[in-house]
Amino acid sequence: MESYTEENYLKVIYHLSNLTTGTVQTNAIADKIQTRPASVTDMMKKLAEKQLINYVKYQGVTLTEKGKATAVNIVRKHRLWELFLVKTLNFKWDEVHEIAEELEHVNSPLLIERLDEYLGYPKNDPHGDPIPDKNGNFDSPALVKLSKLKPAEKGIVVGVSEHSSSFLKYLEKIKLTLGTAVEMIEVIEFDGSVDLLVEDTRKNVSREVASHILMRTN
């Protein structure tokens, strides 16, 4: 069994692995976990000892199969709880992350199995992120950033790459939530902002915002 703290390190390493190509750096972990690099080094030794990561001094880390499976399971729990909070307890999508950060550490495989069943074996969480199944499998179709659509190209908002409450609330406000159909009109050369057609209405959003909205374009 892994401690609460170990689980958080594994989860962070997992998420960082998906953002970079090579190994995950000590300082990157320290940043995410809000701790000191020295503390990260200590924990890396411990996780390596437990065969959860591959660690070479000064060379960063990667997850072992065992470490990856553990991390994916935590992500599964996190996302199932987030969906439960939104669907059953009527939370908004910007309110659930912090609570799920705690709930994800509750250790009861049966509880998660029942929660999954109750929710109807869902494939995505309230932010569009895929929910791994009991075996850790999930599909992550290649999505395109809204900021990268070509003029006249259409798509559906299916995810976000930024989960802060302020960002999610803003999307809510401008009605660019999951499931919304969007057509690109043009990218403004001056500032990279985009003009869009959303349900027959023209809208402009900044490059920053558009780059965090993920589209399915088929």
Partner DNA sequence: TAATAAAGTTAGATAAATCTAAATAAAATT
Partner DNA sequence: AATTTTATTTAGATTTATCTAACTTTATTA
Per CB under 8 A, residues contacting a copy of itself are 85, 88-91, 95, 98-99, 102-103, 106-108, 110-111, 114-115, 118
Is 57 a residue that touches DNA (CB under 7 A)? yes
Q: How far is the CB of 212 from a copy of itself (least distance, A)?
A: 26
Judged by beta carbon distances under 5 to 8 A according to partner kind, the member of Mn ion, a copy of itself, DNA, none in contact with residue 89 is a copy of itself
d(CA 84, CA 51): 33
The nearer residue to Mn ion, 31 or 195, going by C-beta atoms, is 31
d(CA 30, CA 47): 15
Please tell me the number of Cα atoms within 13 Å of 5 on its side-chain side. 10
Is 125 a residue that touches Mn ion (CB under 5 A)? yes
Q: How far is the CB of 163 from a copy of itself (least distance, A)?
A: 17
Give which of 115, 112, 108, 79 is closest to 96, Cα–Cα: 79
d(CA 69, CA 64): 8
Is 27 a residue that touches DNA (CB under 7 A)? yes
Is 64 a residue that touches DNA (CB under 7 A)? no
d(CA 99, CA 78): 9
Q: How far is the CB of 98 from a copy of itself (least distance, A)?
A: 8
SS (H, E, C) 195-209: EEEECCEEEEECHHH
Is 42 a residue that touches DNA (CB under 7 A)? yes
d(CA 99, CA 63): 26
The nearer residue to DNA, 28 or 149, going by C-beta atoms, is 28
Name the amino acid, one letter, at 160: V
The site for DNA (CB under 7 A) is made up of 3-6, 25-28, 35-46, 55, 57-60
